[in-house]
Amino acid sequence: MLHSIPLFFTLALCLFVAPDKVVNQPIPSKKAPNIIFILSDDHAAQALSAYGSRINQTPNLDRIAENGMRFDRMYCTNSICAPSRAVILTSKMSHLNGVFNNTNTFDANQNTLPRLLQQHGYQTAMIGKWHLKSDPVGFDYWNILPDQGLYYNPDFIEMGELKHTEGYVTDLTTDYALNWLENRQDDKPFFLFLGNKAPHRNWMPGPEHLTDYQEQDIPEPDNLFDDYATRSAAAVEQDMSIEKTMNLAYDLKVVETEPETNNGWIDHWMSDRLKTMTDDQRQAWISAYGPENEAFVNANLQGEDLLRWKYQRYVKDYLRCIASVDDNTGRLLDYLEEKGLAEHTILVYTSDQGFYLGEHGWFDKRFMYEESYQMPFLVQWPGHIKPGSSTDALCMNLDIAPTLLELAGVAIPEEMQGSSFARFFKKPTHKKGWQKAIYYHYFEYPGTHSVKRHYGVRTERYKLIHFYYDIDAWELYDLEKDPREMNNVFDDPAYAKIREALKKQLHQLHDKYEDHPEDFQTSLKMATLSHLGIGAQLQFEVQPGPYYRPNAESKLTDGQYWNYSRYATIIPDGWVGYRMDDAAMILDMGAVKTIKRTGLHCMQNPDIAAYFPLDVEFWASLDGKKYHRLGAVSTDAYDLREATRFLSITFDPQQVRYLKVSAKKRGLIPAGKPSEGEAALLLLDEWVVE
């Protein structure tokens, strides 16, 4: 075990030579501190009692704040899972570390916090959620969840070997972490990265907490019914509302509902999860949810009553997942104290970003608004950080790696863009020379939840956001007067000088972080075509899935299709989709016409399990009864180099009135491919006839 050796916490607090950079000064100590870094997924600060939560208590997590420091203004640079993790590891903005969104694979050749610690004598381990597609780097031992992982009976990948486990994911992750701590080399300092899956969507509580909050109502946020009156179109056009987006089966566990009312295929996911539970797990689940589900179905709630019910079910499940995180953090804290390790260990608890718990009527994250922009950040190091302290200094996840490297006595690479905030452990209010403005840039649009691309600057009082790409909209908030960000004052003459000053700061941050949004401004173009199928009558032989059906006929015959840049990620908006069936449809052009080419525009996006079809086959007819085959086109299996493609055939000119097409989906996605094990989604757009 580690012996009790005094650590002299000098940290060179007086050596700040620039507003945002620190000269690294190794700690003059014979033994560097151990570091445990706990990263939960989507844990909002407003769901931690250390941050004054109105809705839950987190006594074990609060122990970290009571024994150390709470950061009240810790923010992420890109509020989405994989990008935030990449920034934490590299201390480089998304455009430099290469992880813009959840579809990108992390480049393992970069300098990372664990790799640098490992090179300087630390024993390192990564356990739990990794979510960066490439294998973990810089770790002597790793045991991770595949992609997002499952809540019940998950698989883990231990040093490259897939292993099935039985139990609840938060318990198992902590079990593995404690086992590694117990069996590590005790003559080296250690770095343990513990990644909790919880409380990520779809919020499946552990067996011990299934009935928490069952007899109470969770207070609603005062802007649950926000109408976005002063906000830009970005707030209106998002697809992350509790009312419209949240799925009754997948998200809210009401598996009795009909597929037509529940986005179709996703109903099967929850039913399938129940089948993979043990008998005891399944019975506990049914006992907890069954009576409430039956009462809900019988009540046939509508309008505001339905939204309120959805909010209660969602937020209770979310808090139940956090309860398990709190329990298991308590297990880890107890272990450190029992083994005499607490005084020699820096322990951090944080989340990759925040989350909406009904604020603005939303769930999820992505926006630069406070609820998802802010990260909870608690850190303890007995003897070096004053118990119960806090700081309101503006910090970012970009600053985490430099801070921990400095505390470990490891030189901070020049390429890292963040700054060590270690000074605040001794002097929480010592903000002279510290950064006065922080930067944000969200890229994943078009993408899941339809949150527009945007970038912005936050100061201690103000926030300026620019939504761009297929929109040009600015929002400005006075956070002192309007902490809930309900009143956009960008066009208010009283804020004209502030607006211009913030724009100037924004340009300075663009230069500082080498991030120039015009590089990502390649427009989302609605390309137009002139062809014989525009406005023709379309008949589906196989209906699209309910979620992808609205205005399906016109989407395939309107003469328009989306043309995406290389930075775009894409979702089914504007597409016709199938998940459970192959596509089959007939086009009646209304009269006999001479044609020589026909094709179907398809897209793929592994983030939502969308892939090109296996093949597309075309037939033609003069009378709509007797068809002859025109030809077919196939695609390479899981070729991810393209986002969209016209699958078309050309033939000798011939007279045709009716066309028939079938597109065969890929089925279940195999191991090793993005979204493995899910049913492949088939997404179609314009049907071209020339």
Between 20-29, 167-176, 357-366, 679-688, the lowest mean confidence (pLDDT) is in 20-29
* Rounded CA separation 364/362 (Å): 7
pLDDT interval class at 261 (50, 70, 90): very low
Q: What is the pLDDT of residues 371-389, one digit of tens each?
A: 999 999 999 999 999 999 9
- In three-state secondary structure terms, 194 is strand
The pLDDT tens digits of the residues spanning 342-379 come to 999 999 999 999 999 999 999 999 999 999 999 999 99
What's the CA gap between 471 and 291, in Å, rounded? 46
Q: What is the mean pLDDT of residues 285-299?
A: 94
Classify 448 as helix, strand or coil: helix
Q: Are 408 and 122 in contact (CB under 8 A)?
A: yes
CA-derived radius of gyration, the chain: 27
Spatial distance between the Cα atoms of 686 and 644, rounded to a whole number of angstroms: 11
Average pLDDT for 603-614: 82
Q: 607 by DSSP, 3-state: which? A: helix
Query: In this predicted model, what pLDDT tens digit does every residue of 204-244 receive, in sequence order?
Result: 999 999 999 999 999 999 999 999 999 999 999 999 999 99
How confident is the model at residue 18, as a pLDDT?
34
pLDDT of residue 11: 30
Mean pLDDT of 616-627: 95
- Tell which residue, 643, 638, 584, 634, has the closest CA to residue 614: 634
Residue type at 35 in one-letter notation? I
Please give the Cα distance from 22 to 16 (Å, whole number).
Answer: 5
pLDDT greater than 50 at residue 569: no
Q: What are the φ/ψ torsions at residue 589 (nearest 5 degrees)?
A: -80, 0
Kindly write down the DSSP assignment for every residue of 330-369, as one continuous string. HHHHHHHHHTT-GGGEEEEEEESS---SSGGGB-S--SSS
Residue whose token pair is 């109470």: 216
Most confident of the ranges 193-197, 426-430, 530-534, 683-687: 193-197
User: Whats the size of the chain, residue-wise?
Assistant: 690
| pLDDT (0 to 100) of residue 250 | 87
Nearest alpha-carbon partner for 644 in 635, 652, 654: 635
pLDDT band at 639 (very low <50, low <70, confident <90, very high): confident
- Rounded to whole angstroms, how far apart are CA atoms 78 and 366? 7
pLDDT by residue (tens digit) across 485-514? 999 999 999 999 999 999 999 999 999 999
Question: Is residue 408's pLDDT more than 80?
Answer: yes
Residue with more model confidence, 446 or 55: 55
Predicted local confidence at residue 363, as pLDDT: 97
Mean pLDDT of the chain: 89
Least confident piece of the model among 245-249, 445-449, 487-491, 514-518: 445-449
Confidence of residue 406 (pLDDT cuts 50, 70, 90): very high
Q: If you write DSSP's letter for every residue of 543-588 in order, what string do you get?
A: PPPGGG-TTHHHHHHSSEEEE--TT----STT-EEESSS-EEEEEE
| Position 137 pLDDT exceeds 60 | yes
The two structure tokens encoding residue 43: 């844990």
What average pLDDT does range 49-70 have in this prediction?
A: 98
What burial class does residue 640 get, using C-beta atoms within 10 Å of its C-beta: 0-12 exposed, 13-18 middle, 19+ buried? middle
